[in-house]
A and B are shown apart, each in its own frame.
Chain A
Amino acid sequence: MEVTTAGRSRGAAIAEVVAFPGRMMRRRSHTRAQALAETTFHGTALTCAVLVLVSMTAIFVELVRNSRLSLAKFGWGFLTSAAWNPVTSDFGAASSIFGTLVSTAIALLIAVPLSLAIALFLVEMAHPRIARPVGSAIELLAAIPSIIYGMWGLFVLAPYMADHVQPLLQKFFGKLPLFAGPPMGIGMLSAGLVLALMVLPFITAVVRDIFALVPSVMKEAGYGMGATTWEVTRKVTLRHGMRGVLGGVFLGLGRAIGETMAVTFVIGNDHRIAASLFASGNTISSTLANEFTEASQPLYLSALVELGLILFVITFLIQIAAQLWLKHISHRLGTDK
C-alpha cells in the first residue's frame, strides 16, 4: 500500500496499475489494440509537429506566391524605391522600411538602457520584498494588448508630447533637423516611445535572468575586496552577462520590428522619408494595417503582400540570430534554457 501514499496526482495512475495487475493482464491479451493506440498517439504527435513545419513553410510560400506580380514588375528596385502611388500603380518599400528601422532604433535606444537599469535594480539592489512585486508589474506591461497602447498613445501620449515634450526639445535642440517641424504629437518619436514601453518588459526579463545567473561567488569576491555595488555590477555582472544582454536586445528588436497596432495609431501613416523625428511616417506593418483592406487592384495588393514578405524575412532572420545566440550563451553559462 505504500504506493498510494505517494503524491496523489503523480502517483495515482501508477498506483492503479500496481493495485490492479489484472487489468494489465487483460490488456496484454489485446496487444494489437495496444499497438494501434500507441501508433495512433505517436502518429498524432508527429503530425502536429509536422504541422508547425508546414505552417512556417506555407507562410513563406504563400507570401511569395501572392506577391509575384509586384516581384515581377519592380524586382529588387522595390526595396529602394520611395514611391507609393496607388493611382499610377508605382510602389516601393523604401519609406516603410525606413520607418520600421527608425522607430525600432528609437525604441531600442530608450528601452535597452532602461531595461538594464531595471534589471540591475531588481537583481542587485532591491530587497526581494520590493523586487518581486515590481518585477511582476514590469512583466504586466507585456500583457497589455498592443491596441491598448495604441489608444493610450493616440489619445493621451500624443497630445502630451505635442504640448509639453516636443516644445521643450525644440527649445533646447531646435537647431537640429532631427527636431524640426511643427510638434504634432503623432510621428516617429511618439511611435518609438510607445514601442520602447512595449519591448521593455521583454528585454528586462531576459537581462534579469542573465544577471541572476552570474555566480554569487564572483560577486561576493568583488564585495569582499571592498568594491561598491556599482563597481561589482560594472566589472563583474555586466562583463559576465554582456552576451546575454545582446540576446535580449535581439528579442526586443524582433518584437519592435513587427509591432503593428500601437504604431499604426501614433505614427501618422504617411509615405515619406523625413529627417525630423516629429514628422509622421509609416512602417511596414502600419502600411499593411491601414491599406490592405482598401487595396482594390491586384498589383496594389501584391505590393502590400511583398511588404509583408520583407517583414517576414527580416523577423525570421532576427529570430534565428536571437535563438542561436541565446543557445550559445546558455551553453557557455552552463545552463540549458
Chain B
Amino acid sequence: MRRRPSWPRKLSDVIVKVLAALSALFGLVFLAWILYVVLRHGASALSWKFLTTLPSPPGVGGGGLANAIIGTAAMTLLACVMGVPVGLMAGVYLAEFGRGNRFATLVRFLVNVMMGIPSIIVGLFVYTIMVRPVGHFSGWAGAVSLALLIMPVVARTTEDMLTLVPNSLRESALALGVPHWRSTVQIMFRAAKAGLLTGVLLAVARVSGETAPLLFTALDSPYWPHSLNGPTGNLTVTIFNYAMSPYPNWQQAAWGASFLITAGVLALTIVSRALAREKK
C-alpha cells in the first residue's frame, strides 16, 4: 500500500491556521480602530466647560452637554430603581419557587425572548402607553423603557446565579427552620452576591448606551432637566441629532458625548467582568 503524500494535508492545515489567526486579528483591528477613533475625536472635544455648560446653538463655539449628562444619569438611575428589583424578584421566583413548574418554564422562556426583543420596539411600546395618552414626551417614559430592558437581563442572571448556589446550603437553612424568604435573602443572596452584582452592572452597562428606546420617549432637550415630566436631554439621542446635523461644532460635541458614553459603558463592563472572574 502506498502512502499518500502528506504535504497537501499539512499545507491545508497551515492555510486554515493562518486564516483563523487572521480572522481573530481582523476582529481585534476593528475593535482598536473604533476605540482609537472615539478616543481621538472625543478627547479633543472634552473640556471642563463641555461637562458643565448647556449646549450652544449651531455655529457658535463652546457650549457643553451638562444637561444631557445629568439626563442620562437620572434616567439610568431611575431605570435601575424600577428594573433591578423587579428583575431580581422574577429571578428569585424562577430559581427558588418555580423549579419544574409550568408557569416558571413559560416565564423563563419569555425572559430569554424578551432579552432579544429589539430595544426600539420597547421604545415604541412605552410611547404608546406613556407618551401618546398624555400628549408629550417625558423623562419618566425614557426611564421606564430602560427599566424594561434591564428587567429580563437581571432576571436571567439572578436565576443563573441562584441556581449555582449549592442545594445543600438551601437545605441546611430550611432544616434549621429558617423560613424560605429569610434563607433566600440572607443566605442565597449572600452566597451569590458577586454574581448578582455582575448581572446588575452588565444590565446597566447595556442600557446606558441605548439610544433607540429613548428616541420616542425622552426625546431630547437643550435645557436643564428641572423635572422628568417633559422631554429630557440625554447623551445618546444628542449624539444622533448632532451627528446628523451639518454643523461642525455639533458634530464635535457628538464625538465628545460618544467618548463619555463609550468610556462609561466599557468601564462598567470591565468592572463587572473582573467581579465575575474573582468569583471563580
Contact = CB atoms under 8 A, between A and B. Distances in A.
Q: Is B one of A's binding partners?
A: yes
Interface of A: 9-10, 12-14, 17-18, 24, 28, 34, 37-38, 40-42, 44-53, 55-56, 58-59, 62-63, 65-66, 113-114, 117-118, 120-122, 125-126, 134, 136-138, 140-141, 143-152, 154-156, 197, 200-201, 204, 228-231, 233, 251, 254-255, 257-261, 264-265, 285, 288-289, 292-293, 305, 308, 311-312, 315-316, 318-320, 322-323
Given A144-B266, A258-B121, A10 B191 contact: yes
B215 A292 contact: yes
Contacts of A154: 243
Contacts of A141: 27, 30-31
Contacts of A150: 240, 243
Given A14-B187, A46-B93, A293-B215, A138 B38 contact: no
A293 B216 contact: yes
A34 B182 CA distance: 10
A150 B34 CA distance: 10
A137 B25 CA distance: 11
B266 A17 contact: no
Q: Which of A10, A201, A293 has the most CB of B within 10 A?
A: A10
Given A255-B116, A265-B243, A311-B118, A53 B209 contact: no
Contact of A285 (B22, B41, B120, B266): B120
A315 B116 contact: yes
**Interface of A, helix, strand, loop or mixed by DSSP:** helix
B125 interface: yes
Interface stretch (B59-67, B73-81, B106-114): B106-114
B66 to A, nearest CB: 19
Q: Of residues B111, B124, B181, B215, which shows the largest number of chain A Cβ atoms within 10 Å of its Cβ?
A: B124
A258 B107 contact: no
A140 B20 CA distance: 19
Closest 3 CB pairs of A and B: A258-B118, A145-B209, A41-B181
B265 A319 contact: no
Contacts of A41: 180-181, 184-185
Contacts of B114: 52, 55-56
Nearest to A16: B186
Contacts, number: 285
B187 A10 contact: yes
A189 to B, nearest CB: 16
B250 to A, nearest CB: 13
A200 B26 CA distance: 11
Given A10-B190, A49-B98, A148 B172 contact: no
Q: Looking at chain B, what size class is its interface with the partner chain? A: 35 or more
A114 B23 CA distance: 6
B1 interface: no
B107 to A, nearest CB: 5
Contact of B110 (A44, A52, A120, A134): A52
A40 B109 CA distance: 25
Contacts of A52: 90, 107, 110-111, 114, 151-152, 155
Contacts of A62: 125, 128-129
B173 interface: yes
Contacts of A289: 120, 212, 215, 240
A9 B125 CA distance: 42
A185 to B, nearest CB: 15
28 contacts: A24-B176, A50-B107, A51-B151, A52-B90, A52-B114, A52-B151, A52-B152, A53-B106, A63-B128, A113-B23, A136-B273, A143-B269, A145-B265, A146-B209, A147-B261, A151-B255, A155-B37, A201-B27, A229-B17, A230-B12, A260-B119, A289-B120, A292-B124, A292-B216, A308-B120, A312-B118, A316-B113, A319-B112
